[in-house]
Structure 1
Amino acid sequence: MTLEIVEIIGRSKQGFTRPYICRCGDGEVYFAKGRSATRRGLINEWLCANLAKAFGLPIAPFALAEVPQEFIEADLTGWLRDLGGGAVFASRKIMGQELAASQVAGIPLQLRRDVLVFDWWVRNNDRNLTAQGGNVNLLWLPGQLGRDDDDQKVAEGGIAVIDHNLALDADFSASDFCQTHVFAGDLPDTFSDFLLRQAFSQRLRQALEVWGDAWNNLPPAWGFIDEEQTMPSNYPAAEVRAMLNSIESPDFWNLPV
C-alpha cells in the first residue's frame, strides 16, 4: 500500500539525509526520505526494511508514500528540492530516544544478537556506538527496571530499528564492523556457537524469501536518476542478491582476525 503525504510539517535536523517530517493520509506522522537519499539509498531502505521485518526485527513501521506534485510546484523557495515529488520512503515516527551506550546492557541478549547478525548479513556499517560516540540508528524504548550481572540497577527496554540507506555496501569493512558496531561485544559468543549459527541461518533464509515481492514493488521511478526517466539508476541487483546469498557459504560466520 502506498500512502499519500497530506502535510509537510518540517525537516529533521539529524541524519545525513535529514528526512522530512510529514503527515500521511492515515493520520500518522512519518519521516520521509526522497531525492537526498539517492536512488540507491531509497532502494536499500525498502529492501532492507522488508528483510528486517521478515527476519523479525522491531523495525519502525514503514511504507512507500507519494508526494503530490502540487506540493513541489507550490514551493517557490526550493525547500522541498531534497524531497522531490512522487514516491518516497516513509518511516513512522516512534516516540523514543536515540540509544545511549549506558542503555545497551538493558536490551535483551537475543534482541542484540538479532540486530548484530542482521547488520552483518546486509553489510550495514551504519550502526556504530563507541566511547567516542557514533551513529547508532536505534531508538530506545524504555521499559521496567532490572539488574545486570553485578547486581546494579539498569533500565531495561526495547528498541526500534531505523535507517538502512547505507546498507548493502560493496565496500563493507568487516574489521570496522567488529570494532564499532553497537553490539560488537556480543560477536564472539554469537558467531562461535554452532547451534546459534544454524538457527540464524535458517531465519535468514526465510527472510530472504521476501526479496521477490520487495523488488517487484519498488516504485518504477526509482529505477531512474532523472524525473524524465531517461537515465537508469543502474542499481546492482545481481551483486546485492549475491551478497545476501553469502549465508550459504561457511565463510559467512568467519570474523576477521
Structure 2
Amino acid sequence: MSESLTTIEARRRESGDFLRSRRERLAPASVGLPNGFRRRTPGLRREEVAMLAGVGTTWYTWLEQGRDVRPSAEVLTALADTLKLDVTERRHLFILNDRPPPEIDTGDPDQVCEPLRRMLASLTQQPAYVVGKRWDVLAWNRAAAMLFGDYGKLQGDERNIMHLVFPNKAHRNLLVDWETVARMSLAMFRSDNARYAGDPDLERLVSALKKSSPEFRQWWQRHEVLRPLTGHKRIRHPEQGLMSFEHTSLSVSDDPNMKLVVYTPVETDGTIDKLAALLERAQADLTV
C-alpha cells in the first residue's frame, strides 16, 4: 500500500513540476495579457493560469504543489489549451494525472513515412504491413504480397482488413481457421475503433460489411471486444500449401492510429523453407 501511495505522490509532484515549467515559459503577451511590472518570476502567474483555464487559484496552486486534487479530463484539457501544450506534452500531462490520453486526430489521410516504408522493405523474411485507424492496409512488403496477394491490385474498401477477412473469398480461403480468426479479428477491430464511433467513413464501412457478409452482420450484433493479441495463424497458400506464422501487432510511435503487423514464419509445416521458395520466385520474376 505504501509503495502504491508513493508512486501516486511521485506522479503528482512530477505533474506539478511539469505545469510550473510550462507556465513559466509562457510570456503574458502570448496569451493576450499585459506584461505589467514587478514580475519576480518568468512567465505567467498561477492566478493568471487559473483565470484563463476557468479554475480556482487556490485549487490550481494545490495542483502545482502535488496535492490530491484529481483534475478531470475536461480541466486537464483547459489547462493544456491555456499553457499551449503540444500533442506530446498534452499526453504527458494526462498520463501523470491518471487520465486516458486524448486521441489527437488531425483529419489528414493516413500517411506512412519513408523510414517506416524502408523498415518494411528490410523485413525480407517476414511478411509485414501497416494498417491505419480504419484497418486499411497502407503499406506492405514483398513477403506480404507473396503470402496474402498483391494489395496494390485492390482499391478502396477492398484493401481493408475486415473486407479481406469477410467478403473477400480468395483471402478467406487462405485462412485455415477462418471462423476463429474472423471472430477474433472482428472483436479487436471493434475495440480498436470504439474511439471513432460516429465517424462517417467508419460507419459507411461497417454498413457495407453488414450488407456483403452475413457472418459480419450476425457477429457485429454481439458487441464482442478483444485487445490486440499476439498469436498463431495458419495459411493455406495456393502454391506452397499449409504454412504457419506467429503474428504480432505493434503501435507506430509517430502515429497512434497506425499499427505495424508482422508475421514470423515458424518451423511447423516447413513454413520457413516454403516462404523462402516464394521469395525466390518473386526475385526471379523481377529479373526476367
Q: TM-score, normalised by structure 2?
A: 0.24
